[in-house]
Amino acid sequence: MNRLPCDPSTNVCPDFMDERYRASRTVFVTATTTEAQAAVNLRAIWETTNDALCAQWQLQVAEDERLRTEQKRLAEEEEERQVQAVRLEEETALAEEKKKNRNKYHVLPERPRPTAAEDEILVSDFAMRKLDKGLYVEIYYWTNDGLDDALTNYRTKDDEGMVPTTGEDGSTVWVSAAATRPSTGVIPDRNLTTVDFAQAVPRMINSLEEKGWPKQRVLMLARFWGAIMIHRHWNSRDKSAHRGLMLFQEEQRRAWHNAIPIPANAWDISIINETVIIRTVDRVYRDDRNKQDLSNDFKVCSASTALHQPLLTNPFLSSSNQRS
């Protein structure tokens, strides 16, 4: 159907009795139809045709309106899509910026300075990141020396101090370089003194709670360390017994962390196995005896070598023998 160029309802029916329409009237003139009747017939034909054109025009107008509405909707959807794309790009860039500069975007509480602020501690970034991942980390980082080391080595972090690492969901996460390096002065748990251990444990428990560790695991560790500190070997005069207890603590905690990813292998670490403690203490005692025996053998060997050294090695004795 051809498109109409204008509204046919504005058309005016011509006067078919006019001389210009003589030829058109003549076609309809017959023995029973006069020219006046022919003009009436022509008018009826014109009106019928114009009515059909008006109906077509109404359909055309409705279709044009539908197309305009559809085009407007598509344009608005495209505009909204572009706005959303820009917003998503900005949000993604902002999220990356927040990862790189966490301190800049950290939400601060609107409150006066806490009265206990001077008692707050600064723990190594490396140790705290280990806790974030639920991994084993040495207790040293919560001792006085470990906290002093973290404070001494603290630096203001900027983009040059950030390194990429892989997050738990496989995405790239920017962290401070310090969070990827252990302390150069870290002391294994087995070599900690009772004083250092007792000072560090409460601080480490607080850090575990701050990092959102499950309450069950925090309680297990708290009870485990409590059992260590009330064990008969804790204040023993026998250094091997005390060192064996500390080695037991370190080995048990390492094994416990390694077993956590496999639920079937995990256990309640707060349940102390006295047999394992005895074996560990015995192992430390035997290692100490072996070291002492090796030291004694070295001393005996050195003394024997000195005793049998030839006299000629002494220049004074050598000259005396020649004169005689």
Q: Is residue 316's pLDDT more than 70? A: no
Do the Cβ atoms of 199 and 193 come closer than 8 Å?
no
pLDDT in tens, 62-72: 999 999 999 99
**Mean of the pLDDT values across residues 285-305?**
73
Alpha-carbon distances, residue 56 vs 1, 5, 44, 131 (angstroms): 9, 11, 18, 77
Q: Give me the pLDDT at residue 155, please.
A: 53
At residue 309, the 3 state secondary structure works out as coil
| β-bridge partners, 166 | 172
Please give the structure tokens belonging to residue 99.
Answer: 């990862």
Q: Give me the pLDDT at residue 298, please.
A: 61
pLDDT in tens, 2-54: 899 999 999 999 999 999 999 998 998 998 989 999 999 999 999 999 999 99
At residue 63, the 3 state secondary structure works out as helix
pLDDT in tens, 128-186: 999 999 999 999 999 999 999 888 876 544 444 555 555 555 555 545 544 456 677 89
| β-bridge partners, 162 | 176
Q: Give me the pLDDT at residue 158, please.
A: 44
Phi, psi of 261, deg, nearest 5: -60, -20
Q: Give me the pLDDT at residue 106, please.
A: 75
More confident residue, 153 or 276: 276
Do the Cβ atoms of 201 and 225 come closer than 8 Å?
yes
Q: Give me the pLDDT at residue 291, please.
A: 82
Name the band, by pLDDT with cuts 50, 70 and 90, for residue 267.
very high
pTM over cut 0.85: no
Name the band, by pLDDT with cuts 50, 70 and 90, for residue 117.
very low
Q: What's the mean pLDDT when you consider all of the chain? A: 84
Q: Which of 99-103, 223-227, 233-237, 257-261 has the lowest mean pLDDT?
A: 99-103
The identity of residue 121, as a single letter, is I
Please give the structure tokens belonging to residue 135.
Answer: 């991994």
Q: Give me the pLDDT at residue 312, please.
A: 47
Q: Which of 87-96, 239-248, 296-305 has the lowest mean pLDDT?
A: 296-305
- In sequence order, what DSSP letters do the residues of 52-86 get, joined into one string? HHHHHHHHHHHHHHHHHHHHHHHHHHHHHHHHHHH
- DSSP letter at 165? E
